[in-house]
Amino acid sequence: MNVTIYGSGYVGLVTAACLAQVGNNVLCVDIDAERIKKLKQCIVPIHEPGLQELIQTNVEAARIEFTLDVQEGVKHGLFQFISVGTPPDEDGSADLQHVLTVANTIGQHMDEYKIIVNKSTVPVGTAKKVAQAVEEQLKARSTTAEFDVVANPEFLKEGAAIEDFMKPDRIIVGVENPRTAELMRALYAPFNRSHDRVQMMDPASAELTKYAANAILATKISFMNELANIAERLGADIEQVRLGIGSDPRIGYQFIYPGCGYGGSCFPKDVKALRHIAKEVNYTPTLIAAVNEVNQNQKQVLFEKISNFFNGDLNDKVIALWGLAFKPKTDDMREASSRDLMEALWEAGAFVQAYDPAAMDECRRIYGDHAQLKLCSNTNQTLDSADALAIVTEWNEFRSPDLTSIKNKLKHAVIFDGRNLYEPKLMEQLGFKYFAIGRGDSLAS
């Protein structure tokens, strides 16, 4: 099938690469000339395992192309995927200007039947707004052309997006027209072979499903962080508690890992957007608001521990920092805990020596040549003349380091572990002061 995808960011590129991989002819449209130039050279602007290779394979096979020409994009695809950003406004609501700009563009150029697919994360009711925008453009041109709008939210985990798309847990399709439903089912047939993963529903329910999924996962994380803070003050070990409750199949082990707060492009934005959606229909979402508040507080926990250890005097202290990305296998630093920690340390007069396997360039882009930041080429370099070590991202290479060497290099044998990578008893035996999240040794305010 012929597919057009507007937006060559994270969701757009993964969708394009995976649809092309199963034989579709995909055309990616973007307004960023430099990005399109690089993509034509198979230079992928985001870090996602396997994506570079998948795009190169399909470019060479002539199944995927990139263009700035929106008119060409409208003409090309029966399926018109909208995969542009919906950044949060100041009030937390999703900004739909890019989505509606694409909808207007489609309406300005289409002259035959199109299936317009909202892949972007959008508020409930956006499918109707897109349909209205297209209809208005057709009317302005005195043109009649049939179309349908489909809500088809993505459920891609950064670091595992290719696997998630190729072998999905579910494929949510919000659609009213039975004929369009069957065309969408045909498009997704290659990803739906072992059992039926396609779930057809109305567009509003599909739009809400996306927000609900992310909000409930964020809720689990914030709840565990609340428990961890309680456990710490009681002298209990949250890791043992986690194993105890996770063994209950009604709870399970996924997303019950305590830490220094969630980040990324989805959970923070979607929780805030869902809260705004609820308020717009005169409902006060108490739990959803608390999820966000707990997370914001949790991002300050490591700084509070570090500050309390040094009796509130961090001036000219050097903190080694392992991890910058909001989670492993990505370079994404949006809403990352590392940013809250670094900025609080700088405000207190401290210096940071940081390393991340993937996010160094992203950190340079965000902070430039910050006078209190040194980006290091490896973990050992971060420890040079450092007063303490803080860990905020659970990359595998941080899980089994040479602890004796770390102790010898640090001015103070102290580690602040925001991801609970090590065993407290072992750290104590090795002579470390070890402060993790909810593991019984409290430095809480």
- pLDDT tens, position by position, 328-343: 999 999 999 999 999 9
Query: And the tokens for 283?
Result: 């409902």
When computed from its CA atoms, the radius of gyration of the chain, rounded to whole angstroms, is 24
> CA 222, CA 216: separation in Å to the nearest integer?
10
DSSP of 379-431, one letter per residue?
Answer: HHHHTTT-SEEEE-S--GGGSS--HHHHHHHSSS-EEEETT--S-HHHHHHTT
- Model confidence at 94, in pLDDT bands (50, 70, 90)? confident
| Res 445: pLDDT | 46
> CA 43, CA 329: separation in Å to the nearest integer?
18
> CA 64, CA 54: separation in Å to the nearest integer?
10
Among 94-98, 115-119, 352-356, whose mean pLDDT is lowest?
94-98
Contact 33, 70 (CB under 8 A): no
| The residue type at 29 | V
431 — alpha (psi -120 to 50), left (phi > 0) or beta? left
- pLDDT tens, position by position, 172-187: 999 999 999 999 999 9
Q: Is 80 exceeded by the pLDDT of residue 444?
A: no
- Model confidence at 14, in pLDDT bands (50, 70, 90)? very high
Which active-site residues does the annotation give?
A: 266
Tell the burial category of 207 from Cβ atoms under 10 Å away from its Cβ (0-12, 13-18, 19+): buried
> CA 426, CA 439: separation in Å to the nearest integer?
13
Q: Which residues of 106-145 are buried (b: 16+ CB within 10 A; e: fewer)?
A: bbbbbeeebbbbbbbbbbbebbebbbebbeebbeeeeeee
Mean per-residue pLDDT, 353-372: 97
- pLDDT tens, position by position, 38-89: 999 999 998 999 999 999 999 999 999 999 999 999 999 999 999 999 988 8
**pTM of the complete model:** 0.91
Q: Which residues of 74-100 are buried (b: 16+ CB within 10 A; e: fewer)?
A: bebbebbbbbbbbeeeeebbbebebbb
| Res 88: pLDDT | 82
Mean per-residue pLDDT, 273-294: 96
Mean per-residue pLDDT, 25-32: 97
- pLDDT tens, position by position, 163-221: 999 999 999 999 999 999 999 999 999 999 877 899 999 999 999 999 999 999 999 99
